[in-house]
Amino acid sequence: MLQLGLVAGVAAYAPAPLFAQSTAADASGAKLVLLGTKGGPRVGGTRSNPANALVVDGSIYVIDTGMGVSAQFVKAGLDFRKLKAIFISHMHSDHELEFGNFLYNNWVTNSLTNPIHAYGPKGMDEMVRDYWALNHLDIDTRIADEGRVDPRELVHGHDLQFVPQQVMQDDKVRVSALPTPHKPLHNFAYRFDTPYGSVVYSGDTSYYEPLAEFAKGADVLVHEALYVPGVDALTKRARGGEAFRNHIINAHTTTDEVGKIAQLAGVKKLVMSHFVPGDMEWITDDMWREGAARHYSGEIIVGRDLQEIPVS
């Protein structure tokens, strides 16, 4: 069972032993695949919108489904038939816009044959139902003409209460969630504990020290990152004002703050992703890394689309 303590007024996670050790014959390991590393809803540039896949002994768990996730999933060589569950961090479009189409693309390839559970903040169950309703003519036609299974019976949306909690557990992974500040929406950070190690995904959040406690001892921390000099250029391009700029600054975590969280958590690897802004090529990897490296002494990876990161 998940062991809970109270730190800074929220639940702190100290995972108990989860799984029996795999034998050499059946151990294939775990890896994180960064499907999309650009923050925000804008399309274009060299990065796709936010999406990730955790692969554990072949089973696949997708975290966020921004625009482009289906194409990136295929480019990464992942198998729709191995998809087990989907986790949405929050209801900004860059994190859920292709949720329905991703499920549809799974179904239309005849890969959706077993139940898939989708977890996220309030609105998940409604989003599942609304997507099937929007596309009911196509779905009903293909069921009748092509003999397909009914996808509406296989996908189950789960609205999570906005509290620290264990979300689910199967034979590959245990998933826990921590609410983090990303006003005005509810965001969840997720922790994935596997037989091979642990991955924590921040979702979108401003600086939040309880997240460091949540990520304590993890092998990989995937954290969003904001580069402050780039925000001025982003504000100018978007023809935004001071309110627009302040929203971006206040709702996200600067590169310096990301390093502080990683150091407090004591994680083995920091993976910077969900870059804000993520489509300005003049911002180099060294620029992203510099702020975090002032505070974190471990390995820093500036994430790239389709990059694979071993979990160990």
DSSP three-state, residue 83: strand
Hey, which residues does 287 pair with through a beta bridge? none
Residues of the chain falling short of pLDDT 70: 1-27
pTM: 0.91
Angle between helices 99-108 and 124-134 (to 10 degrees): 60
Residue 146 class from Cβ within 10 Å (0-12 exposed, 13-18 middle, 19+ buried)? exposed
Nearest of 143, 148, 158, 59 to residue 111 by alpha carbon? 148
pLDDT value at residue 238: 85
For residues 250 and 246, what is the distance between their CA atoms, to the nearest angstrom? 6
pLDDT value at residue 239: 84
Give Cβ neighbours of residue 145 (< 8 Å, ≥ 6 apart).
none
pLDDT value at residue 186: 92
Nearest of 273, 100, 303 to residue 203 by alpha carbon? 273
Find tokens 């309703």 and name the residue: 133
Q: Is the dihedral of CA 256, 204, 60, 105 positive or negative?
A: negative
Q: Can you spell out the DSSP letters for 240-296?
A: --HHHHHHHHHHS-BHHHHHHHHHHHT-SEEEEEEEES-S-TTS-HHHHHHHHHTT-
Residue 191 class from Cβ within 10 Å (0-12 exposed, 13-18 middle, 19+ buried)? buried
Residue 55 class from Cβ within 10 Å (0-12 exposed, 13-18 middle, 19+ buried)? buried
Reported as a single tens digit per residue, the pLDDT across 280-308 is 999 999 999 999 999 999 999 999 999 99
Q: What is the CA radius of gyration of the chain?
A: 19
For residues 80 and 93, what is the distance between their CA atoms, to the nearest angstrom? 22
Nearest of 39, 84, 29 to residue 276 by alpha carbon? 39
Find out whether the peptide bond into 17 is cis, omega within 30 degrees of 0.
no
pLDDT value at residue 193: 98
Domains of the chain and any CATH numbers: 30-310 (3.60.15.10)
Question: 10 Å Cβ neighbour count for 70?
Answer: 19
pLDDT value at residue 18: 53
